[in-house]
Structure 1
Amino acid sequence: MHSSNSIIKFADNTTMVGLITNNDETAYREEVRALRVWCQENHLTLNFNKTNDMIVDFRKQQREHPPIHIDRTVVEKVESYKFLSVHITDKLKWSTYTDSMVKMAQQRLFNLRMLKKFGLSPKTLINFYRCTIESILMGCITAWYGNCSAHNLKALQSVVRSAQHITGGKLHALQDTYIIRCHRKAKKIIKDNNHPSHCLFTPLSSRRRGQYMCIKAGTEILKNSFYLKAIRLLNCHH
């Protein structure tokens, strides 16, 4: 595998990610070809109906990317892709994902109201909320929460407020959970030298032991990302 490519597998789901530099797509296309050959040699069939190609390109002057072909079949280009239940768009915006979460959570609020109507205790209602609603709202929160729009955050928090009104108990705010999980995730990445993001956390001088900086903090894409939030939390806790 070329160093600019990576393959992520989960059960029967395979995702290939390639970094294109200087408009040279050779390594990425060769990786796609190698994957197809590997599948043939191991008696596996690629499902073309579920195979998509998504390009993330923030350059001001974008160029047209020739389509990817697999066995003479053109792979469909898409603007969003659902990866392990998370909707990722080519602009790295989270409205599509948060809208789907709010819709699903609101549907389950109905079940919460019915349980209250049947006379279940507040403790049981809170447990039901945490298992069926909070688990949805908190999924992959370190990846998307920091770059959510104010409108999306308001919609998400309204679900929590509604659930809190129904259960009658104090529920965790999304912001609080986001901060806790960012700090926990950052410490795991720093301890794992093999993590793809380990190189982004650079220790400061010995006089400021235990504090870090993000080596790509100046880039616009990382402006409100998990990485900068994690750096701030690590340095504050120090």
Structure 2
Amino acid sequence: MTDGTMTRWTISAHDIATLRPQTLPIPRPGPGEVLVKIGAVALNYRDKMVVETGMGLPLSLPVSPASDMAGRVLATGAGVSRFKTDDRVIAQFIPDWIDGRRPGGAWPLPLDTLAGTLPGLLATHAVLPADWLVAAPRSLDDAGAATLPVAGLTAWMALVEYGRIRAGDTVLVQGTGGVALFGLQIARAHGARVLVTSGSADKLAQARALGADHGIDRGAGDWAAAAVAATGGRGVDHLLEVAGGAGLG
């Protein structure tokens, strides 16, 4: 169905209390574009920051939050050959970054991101350029596939592309957020030993259920010393640093 109405949620101020639905006509894809019926969106900590502070981005309110989605192609515009109707797709968070190192310097941060200077995806439908989309994995439903573009790819880039993780390495993962849990599972899939820190006994238990070899209660003392002790004094090969601040030291 490409006729009828859709719903899009927007914020009118940096306050989640302003989140409101809008009813709009379902748009039609133009040349090079794809109309997607969105099945799921993912919530990243970045999305929370955009809603609450704008993250210093040049946003023009009202805006739609959410930068990750998975869905199904309803229609394609002229010239689109990568996708066809009923294909399942996910969005690329930074659409113009295809491979290699991201152009530019450390600051200002790259601005051309979904739910940044580009449209957010908290909606039932979206029209996007075909080049902004990639095929969704057949092994994951929409809810699972929607978590890949930010959290999944961040962990993959850190451990595999830059870290060159190998079987037998030891990885320390901080916390149990989206990037951390992807890091845990990616490391285990590569045959690495994984240590996880958390302030919650329940979350450490969940991490062990996902394959963590050792859990460290970061509130029980010096977690870095505990990690060294857990490795027999050797230390870890990789630290998936997601906390910043004093944790980086």
Which category describes the TM-score, using the shorter chain as reference length? under 0.3
| Structure exhibiting the larger radius of gyration computed from Cα positions | 1
Q: TM-score, normalised by structure 1?
A: 0.26
- The structure where strand makes up a greater share of residues is 2
- The structure where helix makes up a greater share of residues is 1
Q: TM-score, normalised by structure 2?
A: 0.25
Q: Which has the higher contact order (CA 8 A, sep 6+)?
A: 2
